[in-house]
Amino acid sequence: MDQIKKYEFRKVLEDLRKKSGRGTELVSVYIPPDKQISDVTSHLRDEHGQAMNIKSKITRTNVQSSLESLLSKLRYLSVGENGLVIFCGAIDKGGDKTDIETFIVEPPAKIYSYIYHCDSSFFLEPLEELVEEREKYGLIVLDKREATIGFLNGKIVESVKHLTSSVPGKIRKGGQSASRFQRLREIATDDFYKRIGKHASQIFLQIEDLRGILLGGPSPTKEDFLKGSYLHYELQNKILGEFDVAYTDESGLYELVDAAEEALEGLDLMREKKLMTRFMKLIANNETMVAYGEKEVRGKLEIGAVGTLLISEELDADFVHELVEKAELTGSDVEFISTEFEEGTQLKRAFGGVAALLRYRTAGYTQ
């Protein structure tokens, strides 16, 4: 999903999130592409009958009215390749007033499960997961006995390769000197690390948009692996951190992701902060490599001078759509900036919610 579609879909979810009912009166229905409409209709009719058991007359009436509205819509709706999601319910309008409203959403990616959900708010989590950044990270967990290589793709952990070593145990066999035995262990360990590095490099180098690599294991094993530069040089710089984990099989990959959760959560925010810090420094130095405000940024976009377009997530969708279209025509990068940090808030309040880092110096513009 491109930036503008993702932005627009998030706005749809934001609007739906604001809708609320007074009881369990809001119905959410997720229909995967392989689900027959006739099966959905049959299920909703059953739910309509079951709603007769709801004690509250108001809630009972509202749920049945919502189901009747859904059933009427399903007569002419078709399910696309990604499925279909319908929300319907008695929306609280204040002052003891409610209106039955229906919202039809085409998911941006394929949905796989049929869901019927009734609550005081719409069930949005499955759709929210679809627009989360599904960035791919490499995962390696290792000790001297075994190693597992995998990926974190969005929230999904995938194990790709499991390796076992021939490193001798700590107890040496009779007749071997301690120094010779230690040397054999070191050679075997080095060979094992090389084998891990070779397989990990082959796997990770195939991924063009790999965001980074997480390394896990006991100390000092993971530190020794990192210091030894066993990974391909292009991957060595992608290591985001080392984390203590107890297991080095597939379960260790999940443990690694849990241990690195805080580091991963901050990555997008850190990228946004770096962009805004750069922008603020250029402003402070009276640089002409930046632009801000609707009129000035629009002008820079039209002449193809914008390298990176910075847009506050709080801006109006129509305005954003126009700017992003202009940016895409000239190959400009687009970054949506949250208001969860000070500079992000300043972009909205002090600079009209839109700014740009320019590709080259242009004639200045005075607002």
Tell me the per-residue pLDDT of 106-132, one tens digit each, with 9 for 90 and over.
998 889 899 999 999 999 999 988 876
Position 331 scores a pLDDT of 87
The pLDDT of 9-34, averaged and rounded, is: 91
Please write down the HEC assignment for all residues of 212-279.
Answer: EEEEEECCCHHHHHHHCCCCCHHHHCCEEEEEECCCCCHHHHHHHHHHCHHHHHHHHHHHHHHHHHHH
Residue of higher predicted confidence among 214 and 154: 214
Position 205 scores a pLDDT of 94
The pLDDT of 66-88, averaged and rounded, is: 93
| Measured distance CA(172)–CA(181) in Å, rounded | 6
Position 228 scores a pLDDT of 92
The pLDDT of 88-99, averaged and rounded, is: 87
Position 255 scores a pLDDT of 94
CB neighbour class for 265 (10 Å; exposed up to 12, middle 13-18, buried from 19): exposed
Position 2 scores a pLDDT of 60
Position 175 scores a pLDDT of 57
Position 367 scores a pLDDT of 40
Tell me: pLDDT of 364 over 70. Answer: no
The pLDDT of 35-50, averaged and rounded, is: 95
| Measured distance CA(271)–CA(265) in Å, rounded | 11
Position 166 scores a pLDDT of 82
CATH of domain 3-131: 3.30.960.10
Percent of the chain with pLDDT over 90: 54
Position 245 scores a pLDDT of 95
Structure confidence by residue, pLDDT tens digits, 302-349:
999 999 999 998 887 788 888 888 888 888 888 888 887 788 899 999
**Helices H, strands E: what count in the chain?**
12, 13
* Sequential DSSP letters for 52-121: GG-S-HHHHHHHHHHHHHHHHHTTT---BTTBEEEEEEEEEEETTEEEEEEEEE--SS---S-EEEEESS
Position 366 scores a pLDDT of 39
The pLDDT of 254-276, averaged and rounded, is: 81
Average model confidence (pLDDT) across the chain = 88
Considering only CA atoms, which of 11, 15, 13 is closest in space to residue 321?
A: 11
The pLDDT of 48-58, averaged and rounded, is: 91
Confidence class for position 171, pLDDT limits 50, 70, 90: low
Asked if 155 and 129 touch (Cβ cutoff 8 Å), the reply is: yes
CATH superfamily of the 136-259 domain: eRF1 domain 2 (3.30.420.60)
* Structural domain boundaries in the chain: 3-131, 136-259, 267-358
Residue of higher predicted confidence among 194 and 98: 194
Q: Can 136-259 and 267-358 be said to share one CATH topology?
A: no
Confidence class for position 174, pLDDT limits 50, 70, 90: low
Q: pTM for this one?
A: 0.55
Residue of higher predicted confidence among 73 and 209: 73
Position 365 scores a pLDDT of 45
Position 362 scores a pLDDT of 74
Q: 267-358: what CATH class?
A: alpha beta
Position 170 scores a pLDDT of 67
| Measured distance CA(323)–CA(246) in Å, rounded | 49
Structure confidence by residue, pLDDT tens digits, 137-159:
999 999 999 999 999 887 678 89
Confidence class for position 3, pLDDT limits 50, 70, 90: low
